[in-house]
Chains A and B, each alone.
Chain A
């Protein structure tokens, strides 16, 4: 697929900007804080409806304005597609396809695919499990758009269930407030201090509240199982690809293993088996959840483990070796998306090329060639291969404007 034009209106620091992409590789050149990453973010949003750096849509809207728009023309093998997203500082988004606004954002996903690679991606190795879950989720949204809906449902159930657990805890703590001060301590270790024994279920909750919790449990398990099974499946598919790239880049000295460590473990990849395991674990952890007033069971606690030569990658070796891992992941993403979608996705390289040594740079560039349309940001052209520069389109970004 090929992104032909991009139009930004009141998006981030762009007031009104039309961009035409005239070569398979486009280099966005400019000092810091000019809008290079903002432009890549727009492309990322078109592909995933997610941004790895904006928490709220409000941030995407040019300061002082109430709405932002991204529009794009994308060429695919089946023909060209017009895509547009409108963000409002009030938070409501609208998406449109070929000029028609879609009622379900889901139908927008999968139109365009992109792999984002920035220096922040080192956090995939060094950061917490949330970084890795987010990586898998973003990939899944592109491969299986309905996953966006499943994940959103899961997060809603999770928030609702947490609110209920907190309420239940408060109502019991409130009841015993005058007898014990133990309720101020969120994690109680001393059983003596408890207003009720740890081994039995919490008393005094109204039946309606208990029945309600059981229903939220069932929903969490039903939707959570769908999350777990899809994550397991995608990790199974990407692991061998990443392993093979990693072996190539490290000249066969390192073996990368990617392993899914779900919080709810099931013996079989069967919907009802996973759901049953989920419910059983919820039951086991019921007391803990009650005391903590939050959900401790479920895919929001999943981990994805990277090991190099059997050692956790986080502890393994240099930053260079960790970079090899991230590069292998990104190349694997490109290939996986390409094989599933049937067309090469875009590649977004945010400040990352200059950070790679020549061997890794070349490995990446060899893979990309002209097949994957690539947008590259950089503050200077110094580290680029001359041959490479010749075949690229260079756009200079300055204060939210593109100068040809």
Chain B
């Protein structure tokens, strides 16, 4: 570790080394990619780099979560929650905002969402109380919800979360789950649009 750090500092001039270090913190970016990105950035016109820097800051400052469904949103209530033409009686529950994006791409789903913000995982210190589950129960309890679709990956943690949420919601409404024909250990975000669309059709009631 010490040698690698020393290496970075001696090979690159300081500001460049700092940029590479920051880029390397991004997921999926290793030392080689970080170097390529950094050198690319240096070659671009300053205005373009300014725009990038500003976009980063503004996104961070302006994007929060929707107060209703917890999907990423720049407004207090997100576009999906505000859309008048969407089915207000159906909520699709997902772990993460990425899953909302994946499902939206299918254009097969026209209801609302609820983003839990993760999965139950005691090893990571995440229990039901750390997720947006109480808010979901309140939503279902207060509004006229005809169906809740649980679209959560079939991992061990996903299964536990599905069962937990299902158990809480069943007294209030019909609860179904998406029968994902996903590869074992697969992630919702990797499912292609056709698979997801088919999964939506094939959903079954939670027992």
Kindly state whether residue A103 has any CB partner on chain B within 8 Å: yes
Against A, the Cβ 8 Å flags (1 = close, 0 = not) of B114-146 are 000000111101011100000000000000000
Chain A positions 95 through 117: 1 when the CB is less than 8 Å from some CB of chain B, otherwise 0: 00000000110100000000000
Question: Quick one: closest B residue to A106, CB to CB?
Answer: B184
Bound together, the chains give a CA A104 to CA B185 distance in angstroms of: 8
A159 touches B123 (CB 8 A): yes
In the bound assembly, the distance between CA atoms of A103 and B192 in angstroms comes to 14
Q: Tell me the bound Cα distance from A212 to B183 in angstroms.
A: 26
Which parts of A202-236 form the interface with B (CB within 8 Å)?
206, 208-209, 211-212, 215-216, 218-219, 223
Evaluate contact between B160 and A219: CB separation under 8 angstroms: yes
In the bound complex, residues from chain B placing their C-beta under 8 Å from that of A215 are 160, 163-164, 167
Are A211 and B184 CB-contacts (below 8 A) given A153-B156, A160-B156? no
Contact check, B122 vs A167: say whether CB atoms are below 8 A apart.
Answer: yes
B99–chain A nearest beta-carbon distance, Å = 19
Contacts of B159 in A (CB 8 A): 219
> Is B21 an interface position by the 8 A CB rule?
no
Chain B residues contacting A316 (CB-CB under 8 Å) are none
C-alpha spacing A208/B168, complex, angstroms = 10
Cβ contact within 8 Å between A104 and B122: no
B164 touches which one: A149, A156, A212 (CB < 8 A)? A212
Whether, in the assembled complex, B189 has its beta carbon less than 8 Å from a beta carbon of chain A, the answer is no
Complex CA–CA separation, A211 to B183 (angstroms): 29
A103 and B120 contact, Cβ closer than 8 Å, known pairs A153-B156, A208-B129, A211-B128 = no
Residue of A nearest to B162 (CB): A215
Which A residue sits closest to B155, measured CB to CB?
A: A156
Q: How far is the CA of A209 from the CA of B126 in the complex (A)?
A: 11
Q: Cβ of B122 and Cβ of A163 under 8 Å apart?
A: yes
- Distance (Å) between the CB of B125 and the closest chain A CB? 8
A182 within 8 A of B: no
Near A by CB (< 8 A), chain B positions 89-121 give: 120-121
Main secondary structure on chain B at its contact with chain A? helix
- Say how far B194's CB is from chain A's closest CB, in angstroms: 16
Per the bound structure, the CA–CA distance linking A149 and B120 in Å amounts to: 20
Task: Note all chain A residues with C-beta closer than 8 A to B167.
Answer: 211, 215
Q: Is B7 an interface residue (CB 8 A)?
A: no
The answer to whether B122 touches A160 (Cβ under 8 A) is yes
Q: Which residues of B contact A211 (CB under 8 A)?
A: 128, 164, 167
CB pair B129–A206 under 8 Å, yes or no, is: yes
Count of A-B residue pairs with CB < 8 Å:
54
Which of B123, B127, B156 sits near A212, CB closer than 8 Å? Answer: B127
User: Does A334 sit at the interface, judged by CB under 8 A?
Assistant: no
Interface size on A, residues (CB 8 A): 23
* B193 close to A (CB within 8 Å): no
Those of A137-173 within 8 Å (CB) of chain B: 149, 153, 156-157, 159-161, 163-164, 167
Interface residues of A in 107-143 (CB under 8 A from B): none
Residue numbers in B under 8 Å from A216 (CB-CB): 122, 160
Among A103, A159, A208, which residue has its beta carbon within 8 angstroms of that of B186?
Answer: A103
Complex Cα spacing A104 to B190, Å = 13
Bound Cα distance A149, B128 (Å)? 26
Cα A401 to Cα B125 in complex, Å, equals 47
Indicate if the CB atoms of B123 and A160 lie closer than 8 Å.
yes
Q: How far is the CA of A212 from the CA of B121 in the complex (A)?
A: 10
Residues from chain A with a CB closer than 8 A to the CB of B183 are: 103-104
Closest residue of A by beta carbon distance from B156: A156
- Which residue, of A149, A206, A215, has the highest number of chain B Cβ atoms within 10 A? A215
Closest B residue, CB atoms, query A107: B183
| Contact B156–A157 (Cβ < 8 Å) | yes
**Residues in chain B near residue A206, CB distance under 8 A:** 129
- Inter-chain CA distance A160–B160, complex, in Å, is 10
- Interfacial chain B residues near A208, Cβ < 8 Å: 127-129
A212 touches B120 (CB 8 A): yes
Interface contacts beyond A104-B184, A211-B164: sample of 19 additional A-B pairs, CB < 8 Å, sorted by A: A103-B183, A103-B186, A104-B185, A106-B184, A156-B155, A156-B157, A157-B156, A159-B123, A160-B122, A160-B123, A160-B160, A163-B123, A167-B127, A208-B127, A212-B127, A212-B128, A212-B164, A216-B160, A223-B156
The 7 closest A-B pairs by CB, nearest first: A163-B122, A164-B122, A208-B128, A163-B123, A156-B156, A215-B163, A160-B122
Could you tell me which B residues sit within 8 Å of A by CB distance? Answer: 120-123, 125, 127-129, 155-157, 159-160, 163-164, 167, 183-186
Which residues of A come within 8 Å of B, CB atoms?
103-104, 106, 149, 153, 156-157, 159-161, 163-164, 167, 206, 208-209, 211-212, 215-216, 218-219, 223
Sample (25) of A-B pairs whose CB atoms are under 8 Å apart: A104-B184, A149-B184, A156-B155, A159-B123, A160-B123, A160-B157, A161-B122, A163-B122, A163-B123, A164-B122, A164-B127, A167-B122, A167-B125, A167-B127, A206-B129, A208-B127, A208-B129, A209-B128, A211-B167, A212-B128, A212-B160, A215-B164, A219-B156, A219-B159, A219-B160
